[in-house]
Structure 1
């Protein structure tokens, strides 16, 4: 479904990605782990059209999308749940959700999807007329996920969904991501909690200073002594 080949990205003179290659098959849940500054978020931003590649290619469902306008990428079936949730604080929960469907014209199906989000996240239904900025961190994360779901994506990319959340909410959030994947949506997950990400995923990639240095199943990476020592707190 998603094929990245020799991708390079830079911010001015600073190179963030140094020729990474990765693949995500339809229906998979793939994790991207690594230290802060390794290039994880840049990878997601390049996929979503927020960063233009310096070199290499990004293909989604057979189409080259590298450097494509973000709105077109959304219309092709990729939704991005950004780090920090980025809800619109002065708009209501319902208005935030509708923004996720702003490129759609199938109003009846949009209403059905809104009902589905409210079924998946009853707390959002209770607060649908409330300003998003007044929600708790966990509720805002639910809203960010629900907003992304409203575009009916084929691929959802999550950037640090557990950041700043209480442990019980982290567990709930990761469970929601698993459920989304089980329902048929392909997932690319960037997650600071490497153990949780590797436990959840089908396949994983380890980024270090803009390069992929390890790849394999979640179990493979958890069993790797270097990965355990550097990212899992083990020996």
Structure 2
């Protein structure tokens, strides 16, 4: 479904991805784990077109996408739920959700999906007219997830969905990620809580200093003694 082949990306003179290769199959939940600065978020930004690779190839359903604009990649069914939520603070909750459907033209479908998001996230319905910047961190994360889903994607990329949230909200967020996957969407997730990420995923890639250094099932990485010693802090999540 999605494949990165030997992808290299740089910020000026700093090479952030160094020949990264990975793939996602339809319906999988795949996690990227590793320390801060390992290149995980850069990989997501490159897939979504926010960054251009210096070399390598990214394909979606076998077609190259690394030269496309972000809006063109979104139109092909890849949604990005960014680190730090990145809601539009001065727009209302409803307007933020509408922004998620900006490239769609099926007004009846948009209206139906909006009601579905309100049913899934009742707090967003209660605050539909409220400015997004006044929501709590957890509510903003729910809004960011719902906004991504409003594009009707086939793949959703979550970048640090639990960052800065209270433990009870973290469990809600991971439950939503699981629900999205069970509904048939493919998920690529960057998550600092490696223990939770590996507990949830089908497969995972461990990144260090811009490279993939290990890949396997979530269970395989959970059972690896060196991975456990170096990365598995935090709290597990029961799938």
Give the TM-score category using the shorter length: over 0.9
Taking the aligned partners of 1:116 and 1:99, their CA distance within structure 2 comes to 16
Give a deviation string over 1:169-198, Cα, whole Å, max 9, x none: 001001101100100110000001000000
Query: Is 2:5–2:58's contact at 8 Å kept on the other side of the alignment?
Result: yes
- What is the number of equivalent residue pairs in this alignment? 234
- The alignment partner of 2:59 has SS state of strand
- What does residue 132 of structure 1 align with? 132
- What does residue 117 of structure 1 align with? 117
- What does residue 173 of structure 2 align with? 173
In the TM superposition, residue 233 of structure 1 has moved relative to its aligned partner by: 4.2
In the TM superposition, residue 48 of structure 1 has moved relative to its aligned partner by: 0.3
- What does residue 70 of structure 2 align with? 70
- What does residue 231 of structure 2 align with? 231
- The alignment partner of 1:165 has SS state of coil
In the TM superposition, residue 114 of structure 1 has moved relative to its aligned partner by: 0.4
- The alignment partner of 2:84 has SS state of coil
Taking the aligned partners of 2:64 and 2:162, their CA distance within structure 1 comes to 31
Taking the aligned partners of 1:133 and 1:41, their CA distance within structure 2 comes to 23
Task: Give the TM-score of the pair, scaled to structure 2.
Answer: 0.97
Taking the aligned partners of 1:55 and 1:94, their CA distance within structure 2 comes to 40
Query: Is 1:46–1:67's contact at 8 Å kept on the other side of the alignment?
Result: no
In the TM superposition, residue 67 of structure 1 has moved relative to its aligned partner by: 2.9
Query: Is 1:7–1:55's contact at 8 Å kept on the other side of the alignment?
Result: yes
Taking the aligned partners of 2:79 and 2:232, their CA distance within structure 1 comes to 29
RMSD: 0.9
Taking the aligned partners of 2:169 and 2:40, their CA distance within structure 1 comes to 23
**Structure 2 stretches of 5 or more lacking a match?**
235-239
- What does residue 29 of structure 2 align with? 29
